[in-house]
Amino acid sequence: MKKRNLILCALLATAVLSACGEEPDSGRGRRPGTETGTTDGSGTKTEPETTEAPEEDPTPTAEANDPWVHVDNMEDFVEAIAPGARIRLEAGSYSLSDYLEDAWNAEGEDWNRRHDHVQIRDVYDGLELVITDADGLIIEGGDQDCSKTELLTDPRYASVLNYEDCEQIVVSNITMGHTNRGSCVGDVIHCYACKDVSVVNADLFGCGVYGINMEYCEGLLKCNDTVIHDCEYGPLYNDGSTGEWKFTDCKLINSEEGGYFSESRGLNLTFVNCEFGDRETDNFMYRSDTTTENCTWGDPYSDPDYGVMEYGLPEEFHAEDMSEASFDEDILDGTTWYGFAVMDEDTGATTELDNTLYFDENGTGYLDELYTFDLIEWEVNSSGGAKIIIEDSGEEYPLYLYYGDGDSLYLKLVRDGQEEWFY
C-alpha cells in the first residue's frame, strides 16, 4: 500500500512540474504548423485571429503577367529603363527636364552613381538624359494615336532622348520635341555607337537641330509611319554610320534645312511612300546613294541665276573640269554645304573630307569639322568673291564657287595649302 502511494505521488509531482515549466500562449518552441488555438470558457477550441501580410505594390507594372512596365510619371519612367525593359508611358504630356532638375538638385552626382543604365548630363542651358547599354529597350506611348503621349524637354541644348552603346532599341506611339522652338543645339533622338534602331508611329518636331541624329552607328535604322518636321537643320544627320536607313510611310517636312547624310561611309538610304518638304527635297532627291519608291516631293530651292542646285557628288571628282562662277549676293544666305574631298595643292593628292559649312543670313555661321566647331563670319565682295573669318583666331580664308556637271554648284575653301571641296 505504501509503495502504491509513493508511485502516485511521484506521478502527480511530475505532472505539476511539467505544467509549471510551460509558457502559456507564447507559441515559442512549437513546430511550424502545430495548432496554437485556445479554448473559451465552454472548453470549445477557437482559432487565433490572423493578419495577412500586405501584398507588395505592383507599381509600375500593372499585372504580374504583363510584360510591359506601365508608368505615368517621369520618375517611374526613368527608373524603369534597363536592358530588355518594355516601358509603356501612359497617355499624357510629360516634362522630362522638370524631373531631371529635381533629381539633380536633390542628389547631384550621387544620382548617377546609383544608376547603371541612365545618367544625367549637364548641357549649356540645362540637363539631358543619357541611356547607356540598354539593349532591347522598348519605349512606347500608351495610345495608338501618338499625339496622346508627349515627351518634352525644355533646354534647347539637350536632346530629348540620348542612346549610347545600345542595340535593338525601339521608340513608338509617341510625340517628342522641345518646349522652346527656334535656335537650338540638341536633337530629338540622338544615337551614338548604337546598332539597329526602330522608330515607329512617332512625331518628332523641332527644335531639335535634327529629328534623328546617328553618330557611328551600324545596322538598320527603321522608321515607319513617322513625321519629322520643323527641325532647325533638318530631319536626319549621319556621321560615320554604316548599314541601311529605311523610311516607309513617313513625312520629312517643314525643316529649315535638308539635314546631312554622308555618302562616303558605306551607308544606304531608302524611302518608300514618303513625303518631302522643299528643303528635304533639296537634300535627298538628287542623291546617288538614295533609293526612292512612290514618294512625293516639294519644290527644291532654286536661284534665278543658277537654276536648280543639285546636291550630289559626281561619280568621279575632277576639279580641273569645273568652271569658276561669281558669287551672287544671296547665294550663301541660309545654306549648308557638305565637305566631300580635300586636295593638296602641291601634290594633287585627294582624300575624303567630312566637314560642314553653314552660312546664316546675318553674315555669321559655323565650320563643323569632325572634332572641332568654329564660329565664322562671312562676306561676299563687290567683285564676286567671298571669304570666311574664323572668330576665335581672326584667320581669313577665300571661298570660290564652281559649276560642275549640269547646274550642280560646288564650293572651294582654300586654307593651309589645301583645297576643301563642298557641295
Pick from 161, 157, 81: which is nearest to 129 by CA? 161
What is the pLDDT, as a whole number, of residue 71?
98
Report DSSP letters for 242-295, one per residue.
Answer: -EEEEEES-EEES-SS--B--SSSSEEEEEES-EE-HHHHHHHTT-TTEEEES-
C-alpha closest to that of 361 among 386, 330, 381, 333 = 333
Domain covering 69-300: architecture: 3 Solenoid (2.160)
How many other C-beta atoms are found inside a 10 Å radius of the C-beta of residue 282?
A: 26
**What is the pLDDT, as a whole number, of residue 183?**
64
Rounded alpha-carbon distances, angstroms, from residue 342 to 25, 303, 376: 92, 27, 20
Please answer whether residues 335 and 302 qualify as being in contact, where contact means their C-beta atoms are separated by less than 8 angstroms: no
Grid coordinates given for 119: 545618367
Contact present, 359 and 334 (Cβ < 8 Å): yes
> Cα–Cα distances in Å, from 152 out to 175, 191, 212, 387?
8, 17, 15, 40
Specify whether the CB–CB gap between 126 and 97 falls below 8 A. Answer: yes
Compute CA distances 42 → 38, 39, 47, whole Å.
11, 7, 14
Q: Measured in whole angstroms, how far is the alpha carbon of residue 337 from the centre of its chain? A: 25
- CA-nearest of 122, 132, 123 to 78 is 132
CA gap 78, 319 in Å, rounded = 52
CA distance 164 to 146: 25
Contact 194, 166 (CB under 8 A): yes
**Is 273:372 a contact under the CB 8 Å cutoff?**
no
DSSP state of 298: -
CA distance 373 to 8: 106
> What pLDDT is attached to residue 329?
61
Cα–Cα distance between 264 and 339 in angstroms, integer?
11
C-alpha cell at 415: 586654307
Q: Which residue type, as a one-letter code, is found at position 53?
A: A
Cα–Cα distance list, 52 to 55, 318, 336 (Å) = 9, 83, 69
Q: Where in the sequence of the chain do the CATH 2.160.20 domains occur?
A: 69-300
Long-range contacts, 31-36 (Cβ 8 Å, 24+): none
**φ, ψ (nearest 5 deg) of residue 92:** 155, 175
Rounded Cα distance, 69 and 75, in Å: 13
**DSSP code of 296?**
B
Distance CA 252, CA 234 (A): 9
pLDDT at 28: 29
Instruction: Look up the CATH number of domain 317-422.
Output: 2.40.128
Task: Give the pLDDT score at 336.
Answer: 84
- pLDDT averaged over 10-residue windows placed end to end, the chain, 423 residues: 44 44 37 39 46 47 75 98 98 97 96 97 93 98 97 94 97 94 82 97 92 94 97 90 95 90 75 94 80 90 43 55 76 83 81 84 84 85 86 92 75 90 87
Compute the distance between CA of residue 309 and CA of residue 286 in angstroms, rounded to an integer: 10
Q: Are 323 and 402 in contact (CB under 8 A)?
A: yes
Q: What's the pLDDT score for residue 33? A: 35
* Overall size of the chain counted in residues: 423
What pLDDT does 95 receive?
A: 97
Q: From 250, 242, 247, select the one nearest 268 (Cα to Cα).
A: 242
Locate CATH 2.40.128 in the chain.
317-422
